[in-house]
């Protein structure tokens, strides 16, 4: 039992080292870092691979976490974001009386992780949790583009409405404005009749995590109203910067 516990401890230390590494590691590097002999390292790596915790990168001897582990970590990270922003979404809804969302970058799209709409309206925005939207077509995606500083030349700027931005230069100018003022608006750029306002969301370590904001019908949200809401949401999310 003692030997099994030692093997488990060593196996977990190997997995931890691979998970926190900034680049793929080799067995030799792991041996040096953890002071484990080569035969033991080989045995433990084989076990971790057979259990689908780690894998070799392409056809090299570089070791990375497996797709399974990446999905587990990703799900855990997303659940943490939902938990930590729940109260904030409630506040945003009560401030604006519009459906509040939190979104993150997922590939070349914004992924809506959660939403809050406690209104009694007959006409509400639908359930968007788990749905994706093109980055250039809404306030949430524009915030992600602005603060993640992605290469917009790699995007396909497809037109969804007459208001959709399809010019790289025009989009770049808007992203620069968003970074300066702290919020973005989407004016019927993905769907007719639907507008959005969003700001950047940072964690306690000042790391950019994603975006929070609102979406609602254009009959309630003209451009002037969206800018007013953008400023108010920014103050709510960033009270330390609003003085």
The CATH classification number of 2-65 equals: 1.10.10.10
Query: Which of these CATH numbers, 3.40.50.300, 3.30.1060.10, 3.30.450.40, 1.10.260.40, describes 77-241?
Result: 3.30.450.40
Average pLDDT score over residue span 14-35: 92
Task: Find the farthest-apart pair of alpha carbons in the chain and give their distance in angstroms, rounded.
Answer: 69
- The Cα-based distances of 62 to 24, 65, 70, 241 in angstroms read 5, 10, 16, 44
- pLDDT number for residue 243: 45
- pLDDT number for residue 125: 67
Q: What tens digit of pLDDT does each residue of 115-168 get?
A: 999 988 766 666 789 999 999 999 999 999 999 978 899 999 999 999 999 999
Of the candidates 162, 170, 166, the residue with the CA atom closest to the CA atom of residue 191? 162
Domain locations in the chain?
2-65, 77-241
In this structure, are residues 235 and 179 in contact, taking their beta carbons and an 8 Å threshold?
no
Q: Kindly report the average pLDDT of the chain as a whole number.
A: 91
- pLDDT number for residue 121: 78
In angstroms, rounded to a whole number, what is the distance separating the alpha carbons of residues 231 and 94? 15
β-pair type (99-106, 63-65): unpaired
Q: What tens digit of pLDDT does each residue of 177-202 get?
A: 999 999 999 999 999 999 999 999 99
Q: What tens digit of pLDDT does each residue of 63-110 get?
A: 999 988 888 888 889 999 999 999 999 999 999 999 999 999 998 999
- The Cα-based distances of 72 to 65, 68, 86, 97, 237 in angstroms read 11, 6, 21, 35, 29
Please report which confidence band the pLDDT of residue 59 belongs to, taking 50, 70 and 90 as the band edges.
confident
Does the reported pTM lie above 0.85?
A: no
Say what percent of the chain tops pLDDT 90.
75
- pLDDT number for residue 73: 83
């Amino acid at each position: 039992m003692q030997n099994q516990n030692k093997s488990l401890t060593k196996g977990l230390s190997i997995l931890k080292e691979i998970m926190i590494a900034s680049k793929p590691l080799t067995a030799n590097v792991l041996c040096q870092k953890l002071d484990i002999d080569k035969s033991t390292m080989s045995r433990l790596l084989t076990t971790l691979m057979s259990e689908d915790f780690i894998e070799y990168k392409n056809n090299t001897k570089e070791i990375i976490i497996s797709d399974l582990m990446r999905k587990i970590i990703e799900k855990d990270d997303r659940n943490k974001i939902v938990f930590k922003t729940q109260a904030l979404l409630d506040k945003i809804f009560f401030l604006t009386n519009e459906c509040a969302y939190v979104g993150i970058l997922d590939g070349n799209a914004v992924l809506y992780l959660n939403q809050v709409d406690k209104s009694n309206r007959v006409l509400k925005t639908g359930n968007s949790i788990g749905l994706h939207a093109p980055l250039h077509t809404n306030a949430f995606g524009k915030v992600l583009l602005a603060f993640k500083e992605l290469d917009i030349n790699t995007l396909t700027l497809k037109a969804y409405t007459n208001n959709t931005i399809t010019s790289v230069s025009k989009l770049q100018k808007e992203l620069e404005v968003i970074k300066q003022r702290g919020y973005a608006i989407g004016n019927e750029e993905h769907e007719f009749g639907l507008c959005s306002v969003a700001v950047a969301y940072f964690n306690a370590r000042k790391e950019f995590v994603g975006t929070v904001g609102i979406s609602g019908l254009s009959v309630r949200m003209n451009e002037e109203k969206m800018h007013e809401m953008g400023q108010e949401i920014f103050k709510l999310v960033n009270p330390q910067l609003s003085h």
